Amino acid sequence: MKIAVIIPTYNEERFISKTLDSLLAQTFPISNIIIVNDNSTDKTLEIANSYQNQHESITVVSHQSSDQNIPGSKVVNAFNFGLAQIDITDFDIICKYDADLIFPDNYVELMVSRFRLSDTNGMVAGHCSIEKDGEWKLEKGTNPDHIRGALKAYRTSCFQQIGGLQSSIGWDTIDEMLARYHGWEVVTIPQLHIKHLKPTGASYNAKAKYLQGEAFYKMRYGWWLTFITAAKMAWNKKNFQLIPDYLKGYKLAQKKNLEPLVTVDQGRFIRSYRWNGIKSKLGF
């Protein structure tokens, strides 16, 4: 299988070398690694260029965007800019990886083996772990049926069928839901852990606090599913202010009559999937 990895980067001088070293050390070779320098103000571009000069598989491109790290749009826009540099039909697997990860040497090999198990496996990944008290532990919010936005990998035909990635917060849920809607399997490998050097959302702009509620609206969750999901996320993050923030974001999106990111049928599928998951956890 031929693999293309696209890495959006914004001020990742502390971590990007570790990520690239781990990808270059993979037991299954990666055909192309495209680093998208997204308006960095530190030494990210300098470091990326040094790797490009030493490795034929690495390409560095620069993308100009806002210096505010708003969830969703910034990273997806940078990813799409990198994606435009290649013909995706030349590749079997398209990956969107963050620049603050350390992959075990056999990560890509195990990922490819899962793709090869079934033609319907559309997305495959391991799980993120973070360092806490000197130990690497699974990141909070890890779910066996969800792949973190930091380490997405798509079979190219699945990626094309879901229409690529949405430039909005919630993109890393919409992609999975649309994959399932179209009959693809979303596969996680429980014991395959990646070291995540910077916790999810650590650098998000404060203005982003209402955007998660907006994402729920755009995914056609409905009010009660939004409330339950907000409460669960607040509990996991031990931050109960998230509940009114997310609900306010939902109401603001509703008031603005924002365009949903999914069709009516897709929204119905998403709600059904989510409600079935809730019922299952409650023992129904």
Convert the pLDDT of each residue in 13-63 to its tens digit: 999 999 999 999 999 999 999 999 999 999 999 999 999 999 999 999 998
More confident residue, 137 or 203: 137
- Res 71: pLDDT: 62
* Nearby residues of 255 by Cβ (< 8 Å), 6 or more positions away: none
Same-domain status, 113 and 8: yes
- For residue 6, give the nearest of 170, 156, 157 by alpha carbon: 156
- Res 66: pLDDT: 62
Same-domain status, 32 and 116: yes
- Res 144: pLDDT: 86
- For residue 108, give the nearest of 61, 57, 63, 167 by alpha carbon: 57
Same-domain status, 190 and 228: no
Same-domain status, 12 and 135: yes
Same-domain status, 18 and 42: yes
Same-domain status, 138 and 272: no
Same-domain status, 35 and 102: yes
Q: How confident is the prediction for the chain on average, in pLDDT?
A: 92
Same-domain status, 162 and 238: no
Instruction: Single out the residue in 196, 218, 243 at which a domain terminates.
Output: 196
Same-domain status, 145 and 215: no
% the chain with pLDDT above 90: 78
Query: What does the pLDDT average to over 4-14?
Result: 96
- Res 281: pLDDT: 81
Residue 77 lies in a domain: yes
Q: Is the pLDDT score of 133 beyond 70?
A: yes
CATH number, domain containing residue 64 = 3.90.550.10
Same-domain status, 118 and 65: yes
Residue 189 lies in a domain: yes
Same-domain status, 144 and 187: yes
Structural domain of 179: 3-196
Confidence of residue 143 (pLDDT cuts 50, 70, 90): confident
Same-domain status, 110 and 217: no
Q: What is the pLDDT of residues 164-208, one digit of tens each?
A: 999 888 899 999 999 999 999 999 999 999 999 987 554 445 567
Query: What does the pLDDT average to over 234-263?
Result: 92
Residue 178 lies in a domain: yes
User: Based on the structure, what is the number of domains in the chain?
Assistant: 2
Residue 54 lies in a domain: yes
Residue 201 lies in a domain: no
Pair of tokens at residue 263: 């069709």
Instruction: Single out the residue in 157, 173, 196 at which a domain terminates.
Output: 196
Q: What is the pLDDT of residues 252-284, one digit of tens each?
A: 999 999 999 999 999 999 999 999 998 888 877
- Res 70: pLDDT: 61
Pair of tokens at residue 41: 């103000």
- Res 236: pLDDT: 80
- Res 203: pLDDT: 45
Residue 202 lies in a domain: no
Query: What does the pLDDT average to over 209-238?
Result: 91
Instruction: Single out the residue in 196, 223, 245 at which a domain terminates.
Output: 196
Residue 132 lies in a domain: yes
